[in-house]
């Protein structure tokens, strides 16, 4: 038996070809670890959801992995693939670097880069988990998978 949870991260995205212009950005994600035993070994769960990356991706399905290692390595890393509205493939890579001196900030803020299919950075994102409004629904989303 495994587990699952849902999370929303929102903020802004700045595309490299529009420097200084920030657009709204949001990820609505569900993480699923099919086996708790496997999760304990890898500390990874699969991610599925929707990315809203204006103006390139209105509501694109995404999938990837989340690596959750807040104690040993002090990271939570997101790697997501999604496709823009014009068919362009993208990968979002972001990492929360956990500091127990600033736990609320480091557990809720995710800086990320968006790369094209050649690995070139084409955008940067700054997202947050809104603990004030979303913490209760986040905690309620934890269930067996």
In tens, the pLDDT along 4-59 reads 999 999 999 999 999 999 999 999 999 999 887 777 778 899 999 999 999 999 99
Q: Are 62 and 27 contacting, i.e. CB atoms less than 8 angstroms apart?
A: yes
Residue 62 burial (CB < 10 Å; 0-12/13-18/19+)?
buried
Total count of domains within the chain: 1
Task: For residue 134, give the CATH number of its domain.
Answer: 2.40.128
Domain coverage including residue 17: 3-144
Distance (Å, whole) CA 12 – CA 4 = 26
Mean pLDDT confidence for 127-145: 92
- pLDDT reported for residue 35: 83
- Both tokens of 131, joined, read 């603990």
Q: Please, what is the average pLDDT of the chain?
A: 94
Distance (Å, whole) CA 135 – CA 122 = 31
CA 41 from chain center: how many Å?
A: 21
């Amino acid at each position: 038996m495994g587990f699952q949870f849902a999370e929303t991260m929102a903020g802004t995205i700045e595309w490299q070809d529009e420097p200084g212009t920030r657009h709204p950005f949001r990820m609505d994600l569900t993480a699923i670890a099919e086996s708790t035993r496997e999760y304990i070994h890898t500390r990874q769960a699969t991610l599925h959801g929707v990315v809203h990356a204006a103006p390139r991706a209105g509501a694109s399905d995404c999938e990837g992995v989340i690596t959750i290692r807040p104690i040993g390595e002090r990271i939570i890393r997101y790697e997501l693939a999604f496709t823009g509205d014009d068919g362009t493939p993208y990968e979002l890579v972001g990492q929360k670097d956990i500091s127990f001196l600033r736990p609320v900030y480091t557990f809720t803020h995710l800086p990320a880069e968006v790369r094209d299919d050649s690995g070139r950075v084409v955008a940067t994102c700054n997202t947050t988990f809104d603990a004030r409004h979303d913490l209760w629904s986040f905690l309620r989303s934890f269930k067996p998978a």
